[in-house]
């Protein structure tokens, strides 16, 4: 397990605790349900849940669902599944879910009986995440309160006019002609907006701050807009929806979040976050927003919009395609949740944007799998090898250890038979220099079996090698007198009698360039070899392999039975990762 990280955010939190500013640390992870979670989100999840674990606090999963146009319950479900997978066995205890059936929120204008969730009681399994849309009524009440304080107004400018009035980063904006409406008129119009009297985009509610502010986010930002569309979670009761900046700080406040951790692009929003909380004169301590740099990973795209395009245009087979950096894709590919968490801790938290090298991610995955994955044998490009001194029904029992460094993982029986399959490239008729595998007249050890010597090469009419004939030295088996005899090479194999046919998908990087996002069109740099499918022979024990558990196919890499397509009769395996970095050579 990775050591507890230290970084500037954890330093701030430690200082807040030392100063007695927070009785309990409460963080949140706030995905918008408009796509699947990816490895970038995992960085944020591990930060938020990790801080809760380290401080005996809690972390809420909250769906930031204020834009019904792009959101859907499919994403709510996938995100919930992915988070449970990622934190399971590590941070389940701090997940601040609300017990099912709890009231969505209290609607008290002074915010004194706000909905603050407690962690679900021990043993509760029927728990559900938070939704910003559960606070719509209370957010509406806060918006009226802002109007009554003279700090918000209803604006009739069109979206284009609003944009034109906003100015540029170097030029100040202009006041809306509706800025000085009376409180009564604003309240009346806002209530009629809610009642559905106006069409989409006809009016907005805006905070009244400062059109000349150098920070464009403070130039009377929109806080409500009209959208006549039902909401996937809140139902059909609303036709006005709050914008992110208004909803987020108040949702944090309502849930008693102490530290609201977000990515760097929100740094310029922070003055607005603070302004809204301050303007409402709320009774409790306000949450504190702190920003950190996003994860960028070489050869990978993270934005949900771009991943959506890859899915919709059929460049990959769905959101859980094992080539995608989505958590659903990584899981299907066999990447353990622990590897994702170790990676998130390894890269650390800073304020500086950078691109993490692919080798860092791949190294963490290999380290985790090397320690955890049981060994098996499979042959990806089978070549038949006949042990001519064995009769067709002659069988020798062998024992194969499941892990070279971990005897507690046990062993399994294998059977050495007259016909076996070896990897095609473990045989060379005309061997290159230093070739340590099988060649005419040469000897190798069949792992867990015995030493064999090549006597004859059988070819078809075109000269392709179809069979290799060898003699087995049975005295070199384990427990036999010559078991310690040395040969230069050891190769993997499967018994042709016992082998199971399997489809194996060899996945590789989806893009051929390190920064696909920097291309005009990232679909022009897709790797045409990102998926190669082969017909393999695998040892019988693998046919029963549970989906999602990775095995090391000895000398080849790590593989996982596909959760959707694999069956015991027709196994389908996905390559999680190769044994070594094949790109840096
Ligand atoms: P995307 O750009 O991929 O659509 P998003 O930020 O719009 O991501 P959200 O659902 O809003 O997606 O993200 C939830 C949380 O995850 C936010 O707090 C966001 O800052 C964080 N997050 C998103 N992408 C990354 C990333 N690459 N690295 C770290 N945190 C991220
Ligand atoms: Mg977002
Ligand atoms: Mg987004």
Mean of the pLDDT values across residues 217-235? 96
Task: Enter the pTM of the model.
Answer: 0.94
For residue 305, which atom of ligand 1 is closest to its CA?
Answer: 4
For the segment 470-498, the average pLDDT, to the nearest whole number, is 96
Per-residue model confidence (pLDDT) at position 263: 98
Is the Cβ atom of 336 under 6 angstroms away from ligand 1? no
Among residues 373, 375, 377, the alpha carbon closest in space to that of 401 is found at: 375
Spatial contact of 176 and 206, defined as CB atoms under 8 Å apart: yes
Closest protein CA for atom 4 of ligand 1:
304
Which residues, including other chains, have CB under 8 Å from residue 504's CB and lie 6 or more apart?
378, 380, 533, 534, 535, 536, 559, 572, 573, 574, 575
Task: Report CA(574)–ligand 1 centroid distance (Å).
Answer: 28
Return the best residue to mutate from 27, 32, 41, 79 for the ligand 1 pocket (most ligand atoms within 8 A of CB). 41
Reported as a single tens digit per residue, the pLDDT across 418-447 is: 999 999 999 999 999 999 999 999 999 999
Q: What is the pLDDT of residue 62?
A: 93
The pLDDT confidence band at residue 293, using thresholds 50, 70 and 90, is very high
pLDDT surpassing 90 at residue 216: yes
- Whether the Cβ atoms of residue 123 and residue 253 lie closer than 8 Å to each other: no
The predicted structure's pLDDT at residue 581: 74
In whole angstroms, give the CA distance from residue 288 to residue 253.
Answer: 10
pLDDT in tens, 558-582: 999 999 999 999 999 999 999 987 6
CA angle (346 as vertex; 252, 547 as ends), nearest 5: 85
CA pair distance 425, 455, nearest whole angstrom: 18
Q: Where are the domains of the chain?
A: 8-292, 304-372+502-578, 383-496
Beta bridge partners, 566, equal none
Residue 112: predicted pLDDT: 42
User: How far is ligand 1, taken at its centre, from the CA of residue 48, in Å?
Assistant: 13
State residue 400's pLDDT score: 97
Q: What is the pLDDT at residue 103?
A: 47
For residue 255, the model assigns a pLDDT of 87
Specify the pLDDT at position 129: 85
Residue 62 Cβ inside 6 Å of ligand 1? The answer reads no
> What span, in angstroms and rounded, lies between the C-alpha atoms of 217 and 298?
31
Query: What pLDDT does residue 283 have?
Result: 86
How far is the C-alpha of 166 from the C-alpha of 169, rounded, in Å?
A: 9
* Residues 75, 34 contacting (CB under 8 angstroms): yes
CB-ligand 1 contact for 303 (6 Å cutoff) = yes
Per residue in 24-38, pLDDT (tens digit) is 899 999 999 999 999
Cα 73 to ligand 2 centre (Å) = 17
Residue 2 has phi, psi (to 5 degrees) of: -70, 145
Q: What is the pLDDT of residue 107?
A: 36
**Which of 135-144, 154-163, 236-245, 367-376 comes out lowest in average pLDDT?**
135-144
Q: Which two tokens stand for residue 584?
A: 């840096």
Residue 256 has pLDDT above 90, yes or no: no
Q: Report how far residue 486's alpha carbon sits from residue 305's, in angstroms, rounded to the nearest whole number.
A: 57
Given 3.40.50.620, 2.40.128.280, 1.10.10.10, 3.40.50.740, which CATH number is that of 8-292? 3.40.50.620
pLDDT over 70 percentage in the chain = 94
The per-residue pLDDT for 110 is: 39
The dihedrals phi and psi of 114, each to the nearest 5 degrees, come to -60, 165
1 a known binding residue?
no
* 40 in contact with ligand 1, CB cutoff 6 A: yes
Ligand 1 pocket, residue 307 CB under 6 Å: no
Tell me what pLDDT residue 295 has. Answer: 98
**pLDDT tens digits, one per residue of 357-378:** 999 999 999 999 999 999 999 9
> What whole-number distance in Å separates Cα of residue 217 and Cα of residue 249?
14
Asked whether 130 and 255 are in contact (CB, 8 A), the reply is: yes
Supply the mean pLDDT for the chain. Answer: 93
- Whether 30 and 59 have beta carbons less than 8 Å apart is answered as no
User: What is the tens place of the pLDDT at every residue in 66-92?
Assistant: 999 999 999 999 999 999 999 999 998
pLDDT at 125: 53
From CA 87, how far away is CA 324, in angstroms rounded? 20
Please indicate whether residue 263, judged by its CB atom, sits closer than 6 Å to ligand 1. Answer: yes
Query: What is the percent of the chain where pLDDT is above 90?
Result: 89
For the structural domain made of 304-372+502-578, what CATH number should be given?
2.40.240.10
Distance 116 CA to ligand 3 centre (A): 27
Q: Model confidence over 509-542: pLDDT tens digits? A: 999 999 999 999 999 999 999 999 999 999 999 9
Does the pLDDT value for residue 97 go beyond 70? Answer: no
Helix and strand totals (H; E) in the chain: 12, 27
**Domain spanning 383-496: CATH superfamily:** Ribosomal Protein L25; Chain P (2.40.240.10)
C-alpha to C-alpha distance for 483 and 473, rounded to whole angstroms:
10
Tell me if 304-372+502-578 shares its fold with 383-496: yes
Ligand 2 centre from 62 Cα, in Å?
12
Burial classification of residue 25, based on how many CB atoms lie within 10 Å of its CB (0-12 exposed, 13-18 middle, 19 or more buried): buried
pLDDT of residue 126: 52
Instruction: Indicate whether residue 32 lines ligand 1 (CB < 6 A).
Output: yes
Whole-angstrom CA distances from 517 to 17, 20, 40, 314 are 40, 44, 15, 18
pLDDT tens string 98-134: 655 554 444 333 344 444 555 555 555 555 788 999 8
pLDDT surpassing 70 at residue 501: yes
């Amino acid at each position: 397990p990775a050591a507890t990280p230290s970084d500037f955010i954890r330093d701030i939190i430690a200082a807040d605790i030392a100063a007695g500013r927070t009785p309990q640390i409460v963080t949140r992870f706030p995905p918008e349900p408009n796509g699947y979670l990816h490895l970038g989100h995992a960085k944020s999840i591990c930060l938020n849940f990790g801080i809760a674990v380290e401080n005996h606090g809690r972390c809420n999963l909250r769906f930031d669902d204020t834009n019904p146009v792009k959101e859907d319950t499919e994403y709510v479900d996938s995100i919930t599944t992915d988070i449970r997978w990622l934190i399971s066995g590590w941070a389940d205890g701090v997940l601040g879910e609300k017990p099912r059936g709890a009231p969505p929120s209290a609607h008290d204008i002074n915010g004194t009986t706000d909905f603050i969730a407690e962690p679900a009681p021990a043993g509760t399994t029927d728990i559900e995440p938070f939704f910003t849309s559960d606070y719509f009524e209370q957010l509406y009440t806060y918006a009226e309160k802002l109007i009554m304080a003279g700090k918000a107004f209803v604006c009739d400018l069109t979206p284009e006019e609003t944009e034109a009035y906003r100015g540029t980063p170097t030029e100040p904006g202009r006041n809306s002609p509706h800025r000085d409406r009376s409180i009564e008129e604003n309240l009346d119009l806002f209530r009629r907006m809610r009642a559905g009297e106006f069409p989409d985009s006809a009016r907005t509610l805006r905070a009244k701050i400062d059109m000349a502010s150098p920070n464009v986010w403070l130039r009377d930002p929109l806080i409500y807009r009209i959208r006549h569309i039902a909401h996937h979670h809140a139902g059909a009761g609303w036709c006005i929806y709050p914008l992110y900046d208004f909803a987020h700080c108040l949702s944090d406040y309502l849930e008693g979040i102490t530290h609201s951790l977000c990515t760097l692009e929100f740094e310029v929003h922070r003055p607005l976050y603070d302004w809204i909380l301050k303007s409402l004169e709320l009774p409790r301590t306000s949450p504190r927003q702190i920003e950190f740099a996003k994860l960028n990973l070489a050869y990978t795209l993270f934005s949900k919009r771009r991943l959506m395009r890859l899915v919709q245009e059929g460049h990959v087979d769905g959101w859980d395609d094992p080539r995608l950096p989505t958590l659903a894709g990584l899981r299907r590919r066999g990447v353990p949740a622990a590897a994702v968490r170790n990676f998130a801790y390894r890269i650390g938290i800073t304020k500086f944007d950078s691109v993490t090298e692919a080798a860092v991610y791949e190294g963490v995955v290999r380290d985790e799998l090397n320690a955890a994955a049981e060994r098996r044998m499979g042959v990806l490009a089978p070549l038949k090898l006949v042990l001519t001194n064995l009769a067709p029904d002659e069988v020798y029992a062998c024992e194969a250890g499941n892990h070279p460094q971990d005897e507690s993982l046990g062993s399994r029986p294998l059977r050495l038979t007259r016909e076996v399959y070896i990897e095609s490239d473990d045989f060379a008729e005309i061997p290159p220099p230093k070739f340590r595998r099988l060649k005419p007249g040469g000897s190798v050890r069949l792992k867990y079996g015995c030493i064999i010597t090549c006597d004859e090469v059988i070819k078809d009419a075109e000269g392709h090698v179809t069979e290799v004939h060898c003699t087995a030295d049975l005295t070199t088996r384990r427990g036999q007198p010559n078991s310690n005899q040395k040969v230069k090479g050891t190769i993997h194999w499967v018994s042709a009698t016992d082998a199971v046919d399997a489809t194996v998908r060899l996945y590789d990087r989806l893009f051929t360039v390190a920064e696909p996002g920097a291309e005009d069109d990232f679909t022009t740099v897709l790797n045409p070899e990102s998926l190669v499918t082969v017909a393999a022979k695998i040892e019988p024990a693998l046919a029963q392999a549970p989906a999602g558990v990775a095995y090391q196919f000895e000398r080849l890499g790590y593989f996982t039975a596909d959760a959707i397509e694999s069956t015991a009769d027709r196994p389908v395996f996905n390559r999680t990762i190769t044994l070594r970095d094949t790109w840096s050579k």
